[in-house]
Amino acid sequence: MNKTELTAAVADLTGQSKKDTADVIDAVFGVIQAEVAAGRKVSVPGFGAFSPVERDARIGRNPSTGEPVKVEAKTVPVFKAGSEFKAAVNGLKATAAA
């Protein structure tokens, strides 16, 4: 599913226009991106959490040549699925969240 298909599906479920739905989806993703970029975690109970994670500098390998390559330290965004999301993916009935 791509963003256009997501927008259409949400618009169908909510009865809102595709334009309004696209604006809301863009706003939600924009807020999540801005918060994680600012070093803060965004939790959506039952769905999951987005957070920034520090990766240490390391020595990697160029896959073409096998030559060692220095990989700089960086911060990367991480998503951790919540229990209800995991249960849904596994075809199980989600348990009520606390």
C-alpha 46/C-alpha 53 separation (Å) is 21
21 dihedral zone (left: phi>0; alpha: psi -120 to 50; beta) = alpha
- Closest among 61, 54, 90 to 75, alpha carbons compared: 54
Give me the tens of pLDDT residue by residue for the chain, a chain 98 residues long: 999 999 999 999 999 999 999 999 999 999 999 999 999 999 999 999 999 999 999 999 999 999 999 999 999 999 999 999 999 999 876 555 44
C-alpha 51/C-alpha 36 separation (Å) is 6
Residue written as tokens 């160029």? 62
Domains of the chain: 3-89 (4.10.520.10)
Predicted model pTM: 0.79
